[in-house]
């Protein structure tokens, strides 16, 4: 339909290029399933040529998320590729198992990119577009083409490039403001000019892909859509290179809330936005800022007396949307230590989690432990349990015990017991500036792997004195480059995120730190040196 805007989610590709946002294949699968339930039209699952891990992740998403089992709707599964034959082959290898596969290929078209990055003249770029788009179309019927840095490209040359792409089989033309340079009126005019001046444009869907370097990503995306684009490329929480991408939740809710003005619609189930935002934040280790639109912790919070008075009289005085619309619920569940597995399962289904028997059993065990500590279990508690217990990265070291001593008298000390990859229990005690620092030092002594803590965030995710604490950490590894993504090559240490939740914030901190360390160890393949037995004690199982 002319008023339907496709949402092309690139959280697993462009979003994962954020420093520290690398996800495991299992985590990518869970995010892809969540995006499919959310109702996105296209999932850009990765950059298959970047690494064998990326190719395998895209292949599994294509087969497990992009293939209909019982006639249900499935999204298009897309793989990114440079205009290089080898990249295109890998992209097709990865996505061909999907019911609706797509190859997305790109080449730069701005003068500065062509001169300094590609070292090519305009005729050479046109030749590459002609040859490689045609080759991509010989592999896959659905081809998306992007002229990288279109926002700074000469419009007349851009029209030529896009015309060639259309002639050679492109079905979607994506116009990226790669460096977030344009103002909304400029970007809207660029899209309008492309639609007006590109021969054959009526055969294609025009897409927009905006970055947030000047804070204009959502505004530019909406300007492009109002100018005639009918696909928007977005990420959950707006994560992505540098300042990030256009946030899916902002575009979806702008069209939902201002439908009378925009006259546009998406297929997004908005009630799942908060849940998917939380999942992506936990997996990437990138916290959502409290004042983030739609999904931030303060998005529906009111402190000023005037605001509170207005809200008590009519919520529409200070809220243009209801929290329930985006899946934010303040209600408590009548679930406690006497609740059964079936009641828990039913509640998880209503929250959007279809857990298999094994994962439900794991969750139920943790639920019972928490129910012994808390009188009432809330939705937020269950969200934390799911994130903390079921969707952790591949485990090498697991936390088996933690004891701390701290206060104004004596030295803060932590004794940590971990289970290593061989199944052995290792114990070490360390002194630190506080209980969390002591616990981290004890873990470091056991794991014997070099890393630097660069971010530590903690807050309560439920209310009351028995609230669960949530901790997000980010660490830098010692390796010089990441093998996970060829586009991320850097001389800077790679960053890894971790998440943990518990009613004890020191335990939550240890879980989060260990989660990040496990990611680093899996990514680098270095499982640490054998700890010195004089410092680290082995405990008989």
List pLDDT tens digits, range 470-527. Answer: 888 888 876 533 333 444 444 456 778 888 888 899 999 999 999 889 888 887 776 5
Contact indicator for 396, 420 with CB cutoff of 8 Å: yes
Task: Provide the pLDDT for residue 236.
Answer: 98
Name the percent of the chain lying above pLDDT 90.
Answer: 58
Is the pLDDT score of 354 beyond 80?
Answer: no
Give the model's pLDDT for residue 483. Answer: 36
Between residues 329 and 196, which one has the greater pLDDT?
A: 196
Residues 422-427: what's their mean pLDDT?
A: 90
Strand, coil or helix: what is 151? helix
pLDDT in tens, 224-273: 999 999 999 999 999 999 999 999 999 999 999 999 999 999 999 999 99
Helices 25-38 and 52-64 pack at an angle, to 10 degrees, of: 40
pLDDT value, residue 311? 65
**Start-end of H helices in 287-434:** 305-313, 341-350, 357-371, 379-385
Two tokens, residue 505: 């914030």
At residue 19, the pLDDT reads: 75
Binning pLDDT at 50, 70 and 90, where does residue 282 land? confident
- 345-368 mean pLDDT: 80
| All residues at 6 or more sequence positions from 428 whose CB lies less than 8 Å from its CB, including other chains | 415, 416, 442, 445, 446, 531, 535, 536, 537
Reference 193, options 219, 173, 216; nearest CA is 173
Mean pLDDT of 384-390: 67
According to the model, what pLDDT value does residue 463 have? 63
pLDDT at 281 over 50: yes
| DSSP states along 515-541 | HHHHHHHHHH----PPPPTTTSEEE--
Neighbours of 450 (CB within 10 A): 14
Token reading at 148:
């990288």
* Cα separations in angstroms, 511 against 43, 278, 279, 505: 31, 17, 17, 10
- Average pLDDT (411-432) is 92
What pLDDT does residue 484 have? 38
Q: Assign 44 to helix, strand or coil.
A: strand
Mean pLDDT taken over the chain? 87
**pTM of the shown model:** 0.77
Q: Give 364 or 384, the one with higher predicted confidence.
A: 364
Confidence band (pLDDT; 50, 70, 90) for 313? confident
Q: For the segment 42-66, what is each residue's pLDDT rounded down to a tens digit?
A: 999 999 999 998 999 999 999 999 9
Q: What is the structure's pLDDT at 352?
A: 66
pLDDT of residue 536: 66
For 205, list phi and psi in degrees, rounded to 5.
Answer: -90, 130
Task: Say what the pLDDT of residue 108 is.
Answer: 98
């Amino acid at each position: 339909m002319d008023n339907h805007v496709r949402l092309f989610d690139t959280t697993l590709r462009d979003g994962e290029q954020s420093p520290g946002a690398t996800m495991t294949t299992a985590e990518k699968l869970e995010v892809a399933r969540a995006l499919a339930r959310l109702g996105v039209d296209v999932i850009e699952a990765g950059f298959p040529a970047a690494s064998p891990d990326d190719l395998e992740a895209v292949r599994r998403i294509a087969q497990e998320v992009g293939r209909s089992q019982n006639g249900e709707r499935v999204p298009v599964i897309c793989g990114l590729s440079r205009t290089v034959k080898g990249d295109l082959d890998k992209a097709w290898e990865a996505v061909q198992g999907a019911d609706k596969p797509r190859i997305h290929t790109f080449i730069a078209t701005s003068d500065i990119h062509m001169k300094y990055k590609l070292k090519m003249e305009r005729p050479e770029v046109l030749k590459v577009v002609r040859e490689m788009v045609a080759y991509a179309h010989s592999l896959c019927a659905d081809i998306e083409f992007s002229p990288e840095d279109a926002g700074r490209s000469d419009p007349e040359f851009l029209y030529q490039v896009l015309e060639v792409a259309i002639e050679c089989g492109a079905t979607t033309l994506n116009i990226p403001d790669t460096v977030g340079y344009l103002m909304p009126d400029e970007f809207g005019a660029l899209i309008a000019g492309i639609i007006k001046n590109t021969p054959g444009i009526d055969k294609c869907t025009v897409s927009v892909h905006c970055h947030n370097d000047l804070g204009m990503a959502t505004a530019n995306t909406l300007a492009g859509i109002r100018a005639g684009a009918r696909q928007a490329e977005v990420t959950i929480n707006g994560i992505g290179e540098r300042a990030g991408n256009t946030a899916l939740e902002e575009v979806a809710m702008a069209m939902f809330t201002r439908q009378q003005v925009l006259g546009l619609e998406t297929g997004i189930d908005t009630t799942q936005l908060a849940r998917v935002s939380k999942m992506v934040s936990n997996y990437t280790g990138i916290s959502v800022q409290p004042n983030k639109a739609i999904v931030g912790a303060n998005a529906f919070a009111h402190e000023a007396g005037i605001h509170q008075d207005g809200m008590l009289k009519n919520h529409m005085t200070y809220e243009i949307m209801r929290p329930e619309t985006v899946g934010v619920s303040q209600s408590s569940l009548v679930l406690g230590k006497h609740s059964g597995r079936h009641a828990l399962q039913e509640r998880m289904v209503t929250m959007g989690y279809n857990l298999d028997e094994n994962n439900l059993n794991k969750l139920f065990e943790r639920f019972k432990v928490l129910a012994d500590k808390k009188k009432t279990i809330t939705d937020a508690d269950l969200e934390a349990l799911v994130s903390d217990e079921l969707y952790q990265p591949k485990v090498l070291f697991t936390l088996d015990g933690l004891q701390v001593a701290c206060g104004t008298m004596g030295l803060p000390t932590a004794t940590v017991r971990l289970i290593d990859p061989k199944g052995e229990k290792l114990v070490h005690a360390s002194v630190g500036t506080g209980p969390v620092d002591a616990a981290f030092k004890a873990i470091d002594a056991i794991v014997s792997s070099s890393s630097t803590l660069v971010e530590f965030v903690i807050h309560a995710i439920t209310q009351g004195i028995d609230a669960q604490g949530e901790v997000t950490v980010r660490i830098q590894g010692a390796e010089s480059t990441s093998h996970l993504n060829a586009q991320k090559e850097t001389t800077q240490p790679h960053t890894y995120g971790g998440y943990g939740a518990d009613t004890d914030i020191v335990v939550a901190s240890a879980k989060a730190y260990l989660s990040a360390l496990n990611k680093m160890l899996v990514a680098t393949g270095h499982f640490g040196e054998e700890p010195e037995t004089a410092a680290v004690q082995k405990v008989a199982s």
